[in-house]
Amino acid sequence: MWDITTTGVTVALDGLAARQDVRAHNVANAETPGFRASHVNFEDSLRDALRRGTPERSQAAEAPSPTIVNANGNSVDLETELVGNMKDGLQANAMVEAFNFKTGNLRMAIRGMR
């Protein structure tokens, strides 16, 4: 069984993966008339779940993006999507580093017990 930190990191990675999927769908439909962009928020739910000590109950929520609709009814802002994708990539890297740090400490502790 994982501790709250490890569970929180894996839930955050799942949320970032869900956000990446939605961003990819938005970018793929950037020229589709009438398409409305969406975004994923998982941070609020994860923060509340961590406060309760139950990060596994956190949920990623998809919602319409609050962006301006262009002349053909499309609301995808490519700059927002691409910059957001870079930010999400940095966050994912930080989560992987945190996970690796935690498991590295566990490995070191286990080796020390021999």
Instruction: For the chain, give every domain's residue range.
Output: 4-112
Rounded Cα distance, 12 and 96, in Å: 10
In this structure, what are the phi and psi dihedrals at residue 41, rounded to the nearest 5 degrees?
-120, 120
- pLDDT above 60 (res 108): yes
Q: Which of 20-24, 99-103, 109-113 has the lowest mean pLDDT?
A: 109-113
What digits encode the pLDDT tens for the residues 3-23? 888 899 999 999 999 999 999
8 A C-beta contact, residue 2 and residue 47: no
What residue type is 16 in one-letter code?
L
| pLDDT grade for 82, boundaries at 50, 70 and 90 | very high
What digits encode the pLDDT tens for the residues 11-67? 999 999 999 999 999 999 999 999 999 999 999 999 999 999 999 899 999 999 988
